[in-house]
């Protein structure tokens, strides 16, 4: 069983497979291989146009459905109450599943009242279409607002986190509200690969800079969803639970973070940008 972070009754495996940009057979194969290797968490979204392939990879793997944590996300153009319910049903139809484990709001949408969207998200959960619900790309202010408005627990905030980006404020806000943190782009789209400090620290443990980055996050209880289409990298990224970074190594890696280390510089329809 892969280690997990728990929040409001949700048990989110600490490592998952990211699938953004994986399409067609590449996506089916990556999901199938990852699950066979031991991954038990797969991240998709209606935006990624690969929910069909994620469902297919899940079935091809032969792993029991109840052993895998499947996450999808609703795109903000579908945040009106009726549209959200429709979008959730459409995602499930593409995945060919009766429910997902976690349904997220993909990005904040300032054009639709958050109360309406959260009301619809809670309803979708109560209808049995999602076991848990949560958010993604929510700033500190939006987390506070969402916590006041939500009628179902928001179990996580999926945000960009890796050793080169300072996300301390939003991470602190999530922890204050006992939300799990799921790190997207956890290896900074592969760019940590050649980082000297990460490579040196990793080498002392017989690990790569990528594994060191992922370990740094999971050791803080932050779930990671690195993406790869290559089986040897899927294995590499999973092999992060058999070593431990010392307090001094953790502190040294923490000092690499900067406010301008962000990769995903996007905001839907003028949504507030970062903290
Ligand atoms: N909620 C959101 O708004 C949001 C935004 C962005 C991403 N996400 C999710 O988070 C997932 C991960 O983020 P990401 O795809 O942006 O970036 P990432 O996982 O940080 O990096 C993926 C890149 O790193 C390479 N890579 C993977 N493992 C490697 C290894 N061991 N050594 C060297 N290179 C390696 C991959 O190439 P190969 O395929 O060639 O191995 C790919 O180019 C996404 O796929 C998506 O599911 C969510």
pLDDT digits (tens, 9 = 90+) for 135-167: 999 999 999 999 999 999 999 999 999 999 999
Task: Give the whole-angstrom CA distance, residue 48 versus residue 103.
Answer: 14
* Whole-number Å distance between alpha carbons of 207 and 239: 9
C-alpha of residue 18 to centroid of ligand 1, in Å: 6
What was the pLDDT predicted at 66? 98
Any idea which residue has 């980055």 for tokens? Answer: 213
Distance 150 CA to ligand 1 centre (A): 30
Buried b (16+ CB within 10 A) or exposed e, 56-66: bbbeebebeee
**Closest Cα to atom 48 of ligand 1:** 184
- What's the whole-model pTM score? 0.98
- The model's pLDDT over 189-225, given as tens digits with 9 standing for 90+, comes to 999 999 999 999 999 999 999 999 999 999 999 999 9
Residues with CB under 6 A from ligand 1: 18-20, 43, 106, 136-137, 158, 184-190, 193, 210, 225-230, 233, 236-237, 264
How far, in whole angstroms, is CA 3 from its chain's centroid? 15
Q: Find, among 90, 89, 93, 103, the residue nearest to 132 by Cα.
A: 103
- Between the alpha carbon of residue 55 and those of residues 11, 63, 205, 274, the distances in Å are 20, 12, 36, 33
Using CA atoms, how far apart are residues 87 and 134, in angstroms rounded to an integer? Answer: 15
Q: Are strands 4-7 and 180-184 parallel, antiparallel or unpaired?
A: unpaired
State the catalytic residue, choosing from 39, 48, 184, 268.
Answer: 48
Q: Is 39 a catalytic residue?
A: no
């Amino acid at each position: 069983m892969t280690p997990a972070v728990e929040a409001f009754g949700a048990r989110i495996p600490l490592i998952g497979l990211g699938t953004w940009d994986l399409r067609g057979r590449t996506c089916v194969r990556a999901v199938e291989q990852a699950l066979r290797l031991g991954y038990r968490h797969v991240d998709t979204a209606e935006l990624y146009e690969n929910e069909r392939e994620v469902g297919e990879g899940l079935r091809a793997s032969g792993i029991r459905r109840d052993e895998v944590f499947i996450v999808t996300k609703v795109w903000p153009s579908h945040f009106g109450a009726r549209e959200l319910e429709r979008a959730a049903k459409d995602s499930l139809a593409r995945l060919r599943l009766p429910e997902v484990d976690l349904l997220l709001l993909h990005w904040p949408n300032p054009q639709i009242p958050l109360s309406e969207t959260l009301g619809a998200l809670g309803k979708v959960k109560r209808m049995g279409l999602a076991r848990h619900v949560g958010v993604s790309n929510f700033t500190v202010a939006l987390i506070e607002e969402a916590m006041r408005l939500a009628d179902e627990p928001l179990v996580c905030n999926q945000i960009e986190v890796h050793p080169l980006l300072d996300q301390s404020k939003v991470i602190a806000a999530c922890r204050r509200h006992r939300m799990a943190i799921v790190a997207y782009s956890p290896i900074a789209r592969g760019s940590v690969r050649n980082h000297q400090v990460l490579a040196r620290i990793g080498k002392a443990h017989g690990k790569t800079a990528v594994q060191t980055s992922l370990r740094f996050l999971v050791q803080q209880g932050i779930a990671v969803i690195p993406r790869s289409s290559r089986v040897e990298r899927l294995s590499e990224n999973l092999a992060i639970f058999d070593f431990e970074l010392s307090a001094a190594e953790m502190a040294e890696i923490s000092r690499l973070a900067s406010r301008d280390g962000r990769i995903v510089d996007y905001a839907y329809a003028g949504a507030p940008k970062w903290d």
